[in-house]
Amino acid sequence: MGRRVRVNALAEAIKDTLKEYADVSAEKVKTAVKEAGKTVKKEIEMSAPKDSGDYSRSWAIKNVKETSNSLEVSVHSKSHYQLAHLLEFGHAKRGGGRVSGKVHIASAEAKGIEQFEDDIEKALKG
């Protein structure tokens, strides 16, 4: 459980322990980011408007930036990215009037954020 450290080596021991904790925490946060990305993708696929189904199947997760202690992912539509904004917020019709939007990205994002926060809290407590 504990280890004996001389007074003159105390600062180095504390530094090593904090570095070890930071490394473990960074890995747990990266895992939480990946899981949140998967959740967002799954939620969008389930709640996206389905005409032919191509739009809902076009969503993917991409690692945008990864360092030794951080990870940034993006959930995006690979082939129907032009439709995402129109379907989410609605658009004007050619002959006049409007098509109402179907909120599917914002709700998935909110669920992903909630899961991410829960996962980090559990990982860092345990």
- Note the pLDDT of residue 22: 84
Give the residue ranges of the chain where pLDDT is below 70.
1
pTM over 0.85: no
- Note the pLDDT of residue 1: 56
- Note the pLDDT of residue 5: 73
Cα 123 to Cα 105: distance, rounded to the nearest angstrom = 27
**For residues 102 and 89, is the Cβ–Cβ distance under 8 A?**
no
**For residues 16 and 63, is the Cβ–Cβ distance under 8 A?**
no
Closest among 126, 56, 124 to 87, alpha carbons compared: 56
- Note the pLDDT of residue 102: 93
